[in-house]
Structure 1
């Protein structure tokens, strides 16, 4: 089990290599017409991880996991499978450490992300239809090459790194009542929810998944690691067919509710972020905003809402 000391240790370890991203009070700038049936505009506070090193929160977990490796092990190099953002985080960690890196991507990765990774001048392989397929290839390569494999979500060091977001948010805006976090494989929400509940057990944590990839929704519903027969969402970084027992356990213990939003709702939310605040995000990063705009949180009085804006991009406005 992860303890508060694990998150604090991760924060110390990665502090020189990641940015302290701002928390932005967004609700006061909102167009009231977006909330026609509400008595008041939701009180929103956005943690802008779209401004993080490498373009997303993934830099935190990747760096923490890489720094924890034995020096001889990491010297051989790092490899992973990614929907794009974790790949950029691992590339960033490899550059800081001065070691080789190889990234495996599924063929459903948006073209701008593929091009972004290839422009880094590293070894990028497109393998398999979905992330789960690319992940098997990455793990095989790690065994054959001796490279250190860094899992995007089922690794306590990665989860501890992602959880540093909660430590920062609850310092930057200490009176938050509800945290809203997008869910892909579950590493982000596992870390944020666990750290937040350790700091303040009464805080509410709500996860958001696409309707076309309800991986953790189904896992929590059935109290086991569920494997989706297929995924059907353009938010590919939120679309593994399977999570892990570690993430299901942490989410089951610390997340109050998981809600689902459609691709169109995420797209509308991404456009709202751009129109209202000038923030450009990938489709996945708009999931939390989508849940608020559609009144999907399932809470009568969510109070002050903190939302992790998890990654930059432009596919959210496509």
Structure 2
């Protein structure tokens, strides 16, 4: 069984190796949620995620014989980097099995820490199955990403820091996938401060822990793609489930759009780059998934290893939703000066033209006409409506796309 002494010893082992991450107050999220919100910035942790805590504690607990055989792990990215980093420090051979769709940035970072990376499976659960096969073939020591007491103890060190940083915390929100972080954190918090409420947050696209609690045991679920790839686990751990059932006050789910909007909020308002799983706790607050107000709330921002191409798409989608980007088409006469006339109207309305595509052939385009596709940078939703109304008044048949 896990003990508070295990977690305190884990903290001693990683002293000087793993960062004690800052806890920052957020006026923006406090105002938007009606609570007093603090953020535990594990996105600033070594390797960019909390996972290094559990990985390092597990590898430090191995015997010399276990280390000599090398270690193997399965991961969607963050556990991979944690295991590779800890193994590299102790000069232990390391193999990581990752899903084929894992973000390129996480794959390259894992290789740079010195690990052999094997890409197998479309989701984490398939990678885990293959890693266990390789472990049996090669005789290596397996480092589980979550269902392990030493890993849970390492993750629980966040709880020790949190209670020291915010002794009067009322509620703690934590992302949950396999459950190692939530189980270790909840156990630690309840030992130190039994009155604290602890909630797990997962993506509705992969609600593994919600299903486990409903069925009273971990079960494999059908899952959809999610930007919260760090918690995309179809079947939570058996050990972690037992601790979560006992110590966690509830699990809630957030939608993909809510996660992406929260990521953009954090980037724009707090200048914090976080991955999808890390944004889930704050998304639960923003979109009122939890029934409390005026509480002192700490949200665990679990990691910041996000692919830059995903960030680009999230920013673009956020601009569209905020009314700051719009596309539309219209038909004009294919004569000199007609496009210039349309551009003058748009300029007078203070919209910025990002791109124009001019097409003379199409099902709706008659001889002597041209279809124009515009992409505009706009101010807000009201500005878009103003542009639409003016173009209609000027005789243009416009079709806006969102």
Is TM > 0.5 for Structure 1 vs Structure 2?
yes
Tell me what 2:304 maps to. Answer: 312
Kindly tell me the number of residue pairs found equivalent between the two proteins: 310
Q: What do residues 198-243 of structure 1 show as CA deviations (whole Å, max 9, x unaligned)?
A: 1111110010000010000110112111110334322221111111
Moved more, 242-251 or 176-185: 242-251
Deviation of 1:119 after TM superposition, in Å, equals 3.7
Question: SS where residue 98 of structure 1 aligns?
Answer: coil
**Aligned residue runs from structure 1 range 90-129, under 5 A:** 90-129=83-122
Q: What do residues 126-176 of structure 1 show as CA deviations (whole Å, max 9, x unaligned)?
A: 101111111111112122222211000000000000000001000011110
Tell me what 1:176 maps to. Answer: 169
Tell me what 2:354 maps to. Answer: none
TM-score (normalizing by structure 1)? 0.93
Q: Please give the alpha-carbon distance, in whole angstroms, between the structure 1 residues aligned to 2:67 and 2:263.
A: 37
Change (3 A) 1:153 1:302: farther
Question: SS where residue 172 of structure 2 aligns?
Answer: strand
Tell me what 1:3 maps to. Answer: 3
Tell me what 2:23 maps to. Answer: 23
Tell me what 2:233 maps to. Answer: 240
Do structure 1's residue 265 and structure 2's residue 258 form an aligned pair? yes
Tell me what 1:13 maps to. Answer: 13
Tell me what 1:185 maps to. Answer: 178
Question: SS where residue 236 of structure 2 aligns?
Answer: coil
Contact 2:201–2:251 (CA under 8 A) maintained in structure 1: yes
Change (3 A) 1:234 1:8: same
Deviation of 1:30 after TM superposition, in Å, equals 4.8
RMSD: 1.6
Which has the higher relative contact order, 1 or 2, with Cα contacts under 8 A spaced 6 or more apart?
1
Contact 1:261–1:291 (CA under 8 A) maintained in structure 2: yes
Q: What do residues 49-94 of structure 1 show as CA deviations (whole Å, max 9, x unaligned)?
A: 1111111000000000000000121122111000100000001110
Bigger Rg over Cα = 2
Q: Please give the alpha-carbon distance, in whole angstroms, between the structure 2 residues aligned to 1:292 and 1:3.
A: 31
Contact 1:56–1:85 (CA under 8 A) maintained in structure 2: yes
Question: SS where residue 201 of structure 1 aligns?
Answer: coil
Contact 1:62–1:86 (CA under 8 A) maintained in structure 2: yes
Please list every run of 5 or more consecutive structure 1 residues that lacks an aligned counterpart in the other structure: none
Contact 1:178–1:302 (CA under 8 A) maintained in structure 2: no
Question: SS where residue 86 of structure 2 aligns?
Answer: helix
Tell me what 2:45 maps to. Answer: 52
Do structure 1's residue 62 and structure 2's residue 55 form an aligned pair? yes
Deviation of 1:270 after TM superposition, in Å, equals 0.8
TM-score (normalizing by structure 2)? 0.74
Residue among 293, 298, 301 paired with 1:301? 293
Tell me what 2:244 maps to. Answer: 251
Q: Please give the alpha-carbon distance, in whole angstroms, between the structure 1 residues aligned to 2:147 and 2:306.
A: 28
